[in-house]
A and B are shown apart, each in its own frame.
Chain A
Amino acid sequence: GAVVSQHPSWVICKSGTSVKIECRSLDFQATTMFWYRQFPKQSLMLMATSNEGSKATYEQGVEKDKFLINHASLTLSTLTVTSAHPEDSSFYICSARESSGPRGTQYFGPGTRLLVL
């Protein structure tokens, strides 16, 4: 099956620093990638849709200047949490949708746990 990787898997940082998370589709091309956030004991909340070569589409309530998304190639999207604060601590998960075919399943990365001190 399709494999999506995320790096890093864990990050601990001080308040005020910026953190970059990478999401890669390893064996397929993904025109579209999605970024989710999951708080403990809650479901996944879509943050933004990342389209290769164009600006990301953010969900209501998600600050685009705080969560910078870059989708520079068909296999890589990055999420940068700028000036992170403790309330940004969460589990960030990306998914990638196969470009080929009329409809593709989203495959999820293993997630990145962010802890902001």
Chain B
Amino acid sequence: EDKVVQSPLSLVVHEGDTVTLNCSYEVTNFRSLLWYKQEKKAPTFLFMLTSSGIEKKSGRLSSILDKKELFSILNITATQTGDSAIYLCAVEEAAGNKLTFGGGTRVLVKP
């Protein structure tokens, strides 16, 4: 059975801090790993990673995938209160295209 595990479960930081979120996975037929940000409603897409070692960046957020060790990290630098959310990692399998989500990491950024 496909498995996605995120850590930590939650963390509290102050504005300006850097956070690193972890996602490890076990998937039979890996296609891609995706990161989403969920605030009050449905998740919004952040990154899709398919290749090892290639960092993807979007503003203060960046992510990288290690397909050998089966994990990904999401970094947020110079955090702001608007970064407070649940960050979800999901792995897409090649057959069927379905996503298996991790439990999420709840991030709270205090002013």
Q: Tally A-B pairs: CB < 8 A.
A: 48
Interface residue range, chain B: 20 to 34
Give the distance in Å from the alpha carbon of A97 to the alpha carbon of B41 in the complex. Answer: 19
Bound together, the chains give a CA A71 to CA B103 distance in angstroms of 28
Is A44 on the interface with B (CB-CB < 8 A)? Answer: yes
Q: Which of chain A's residues have a CB closer than 8 A to the CB of B48?
A: 105
In the complex, what residues of A have CB within 8 A of residue B41's CB?
110-111
What string of 1s and 0s marks CB contacts (under 8 Å) between A76-117 and chain B? 000000000000000001010100000101111111000000
Whether A105 and B96, one on each chain, are in contact in the complex, defined by CB atoms closer than 8 angstroms, is no
Q: Is the CB of A110 within 8 A of B97?
A: no
Mask, B65-103, CB within 8 Å of A = 1, is 000000000000000000000001010100011111111
Does A44 contact B88, Cβ atoms closer than 8 Å? yes
Q: Are A103's CB and B99's CB within 8 A? A: no
Chain B residues within CB distance 8 Å of chain A: 31-32, 34, 36, 41-45, 48, 88, 90, 92, 96-104
Q: A106-B34, A108-B43 are in contact. List 14 more A-B contacts (CB 8 A).
A: A1-B45, A42-B103, A43-B103, A43-B104, A44-B43, A44-B90, A46-B98, A46-B99, A46-B100, A49-B96, A93-B43, A97-B97, A110-B42, A111-B42
